[in-house]
A and B are shown apart, each in its own frame.
Chain A
Amino acid sequence: MTDANLSVVRKFIRPQTGDSWATIAERELPKLKTDEGVSSLQSWNLHVYMRAPAPEGSPRAGNPILPSDVIFIEPPMAAA
């Protein structure tokens, strides 16, 4: 089986260094306004959005996205 034979699954990206919701929205959802893109990304990625905040003073403070995260760039697919 080649890659072309893989069934279609939900699209995702891995964050780039320094990524935030806004930078991902601007890169991956260019047809949307940034705030709309951010809102969409957050709703599709509750596993990141709902993460407990990093402590104050942490380099992660204010940005819940981890370098290892899977970030979906589309909503869940309808059931087959």
Chain B
Amino acid sequence: MYDLIIRNGTVVDGSGLPGYQADVAVKGNRIAKIGKIAETADKEVDASGKVVAPGFIDPHTHFDAQLLWDGAAKPALSHGVTTIVPGNCSLSLAPLKADHRMRLVGMFNQIEEMPYKAFREGVVWDWETFSEYITRIRKGLAINVAPLVGHSVIRLWVMNDAATERTATDGEIAQMQDVLRECLNAGAAGLSTSYVDMDETLQPVPSRYADAREVDALAAVLGEYGRMLQIVPEFYDPDLTIARLDQLAELSIKYQIPTTFSPLFVNADNVDAVDRVMKRVDEQFARGARVWPQVQTRPIDISFSFAVPSLLFIRYSNWYRIMRFGTPVEIKAHFADPENRKARAAEVADAKGLWEKLVLRQVKTEANQKYVGQTLAGIAADRGVTPVEAMIDISVEEDLEAHFLAADMGHNDDEKVVSLLKHPRVHIGASDGGAHILSFSTYGDTGYLFAHFVRDLKTMRLEDAVKKITSDTASIWGIPERGLLQSGYIADIAVFDPQTVNRGVEKFVQDVPGDGSRYVRESHGVDTVIVSGGIAWSAKGGYQEARGAVLPGETSRQPELVAAE
């Protein structure tokens, strides 16, 4: 007698080998048998016409805060993602002293666009150490979590305000090593650091004040555990990216650790850049280093309103500063002033082609409804102004609640992108799940992979796509017993229809604590998602069992399931 049987599906087991017809039986939290199964089970899933695959692993997310009020990391789980890696880019929510909470909230707000109000109304601050944070998120955890610990946070913990003032002393570095060991012992999957991010005052985050000696010492600790070092390099410049990957390669070889950098984008303005970076990646792998570039599947879309500072304006300091530091009343007054309107429009004139293509996607007044769905070029022509002036005027008229979409901003050369996605030394990731919630949806990259590259363009085999986001990822990160459908492995499983799987349209929904909103994409074509042997989500039943584990050290958080084997 089994607990769960998935019948009549095509098993695509994560190895890259051809799919085959078989049933999959689950007992406790593990796969018990794959093949023709005559026995019955308490629960059965009919997977006729569907693919039965290992659950997907998303290695670059920022669900750190969301996990405090949503243990399923919605809607990631419904897309078939059964394991997420939060804590990227030097930021995690632990270890964190009470005195530093608001400072870190400021960083999450600045870098990941998580609203202050969500922290105020969605978070009970009842932890300081990494171990306490893990205990905190375990309550109601429905998705597996392999959390990184952030370098900036460790620095802040040890050095307090000096973390953003100077290099560390030998004693402080030794303390950081001890803190990192505590975090790794408590379940951290590795360490993340950043060379680009800025805090809420637009000054560099603490990790950027670390010298090579400090990073080397922390990598040495990672070497004791064989855990991951993740960085976000200066990804806009191939020379800088190559310099950073060379540094990672040295640490990887010296301490025998896996390393990864994200993101690596295909940039239409510099099409040779990724070739140069990948040539270096190949050379470093040939030396024995493990330096995994992460490439996202989706093209870059950015949505924005004037109410929050958008990445789109980060090049234009006057725009960015008023959006970053102004209240809504101040922002509206600023852009309503004719002199400011003229000056701001002049400042962004160099990107005329960009503004023309922006689409107005949402307004609140009846008067402007007629423009929804139109480009700024069209709206500008109707109003007799420039596209930028039209954007400013409508934002003012709508009390800053006009939403615009900049679609296909980059990473949209399908031929180039798929060549990267298929590359044996590329790690599919960089979704940024749970971050940038007011700029774009970070959910559904797996659906886009299957719909766009596998089904529509036919440029990637289904089995290869599954392998890339399951067993490859588990191997890269050292996550045991997951990523393959194999008897005895943990039963993390995604059942989906290969003819319909996709990401849904981007929607702006209000479901963030504190009446906050975010962009999301629902899943299409995903039937059932199983985590640690339990049905965590299904298209028919929605979110169900919560059996998420903290990886890589924990096989299941439910002792009775382990004991039942």
A59: chain B residues within 8 A (beta carbon): 165-166
Q: Does B195 contact A (CB under 8 A)?
A: yes
The 4 A-B residue pairs with the shortest CB-CB distance in the complex, in nearest-first order? A1-B286, A67-B211, A70-B243, A59-B165
Instruction: Give the distance in Å from the alpha carbon of A25 to the alpha carbon of B284 in the complex.
Output: 30
Instruction: Give the distance in Å from the alpha carbon of A53 to the alpha carbon of B165 in the complex.
Output: 14
Instruction: Give the distance in Å from the alpha carbon of A5 to the alpha carbon of B16 in the complex.
Output: 32
B211: chain A residues within 8 A (beta carbon): 14-15, 17, 67-68
Task: Say whether, besides A47-B234, A58-B165, A79-B272, A70 and B244 are in contact (CB < 8 Å).
Answer: yes
Q: Mark B233-246, 1 if CB is under 8 A from A, else 0.
A: 01001011011101
Q: Nearest residue in A to B279 (C-beta to C-beta)?
A: A7
- Contact, CB under 8 Å: B165 / A55: no
Instruction: Give the distance in Å from the alpha carbon of A68 to the alpha carbon of B202 in the complex.
Output: 17
Given contacts A54-B203, A55-B201, A66-B209, 5 further A-B contacts (CB under 8 A): A1-B283, A9-B242, A47-B234, A58-B203, A70-B244
Q: Closest CB of chain B to A55's CB: distance in Å? A: 7
Q: Does A33 contact B (CB under 8 A)?
A: no
Sort chain A's interface into a size bin: 20 to 34
Helix, strand, loop or mixed for chain B's interface? helix
- Contact, CB under 8 Å: B242 / A68: no
Q: Mark A42-54, 1 if CB is under 8 A from B, else 0.
A: 0000010000101
Q: Closest CB of chain B to A54's CB: distance in Å? A: 7
- B: which residues have CB within 8 A of A? 165-167, 195, 201-204, 207-212, 215, 234, 237, 239-240, 242-244, 246, 272, 279-280, 283-284, 286-287, 317
B210: chain A residues within 8 A (beta carbon): 67-68
- Contact, CB under 8 Å: A76 / B279: no
Q: Mark A1-35, 1 if CB is under 8 A from B, else 0.
A: 11101110110101101000000000000000000
- Contact, CB under 8 Å: B239 / A9: yes
User: Which interface residue of A2, A9, A58 has the most chain B CB atoms within 10 A?
Assistant: A9
B208: chain A residues within 8 A (beta carbon): 66-68
Q: Nearest residue in B to A45 (C-beta to C-beta)?
A: B240
Instruction: Give the distance in Å from the alpha carbon of A71 to the alpha carbon of B336 in the complex.
Output: 42
- 30 A-B contacts, Cβ less than 8 Å apart? A1-B287, A3-B287, A5-B283, A5-B287, A6-B283, A7-B280, A7-B283, A9-B246, A9-B280, A10-B239, A10-B242, A14-B211, A14-B212, A17-B211, A47-B234, A47-B237, A47-B240, A52-B317, A58-B203, A60-B165, A66-B209, A67-B210, A68-B209, A68-B210, A68-B215, A70-B195, A70-B234, A70-B243, A72-B239, A79-B272
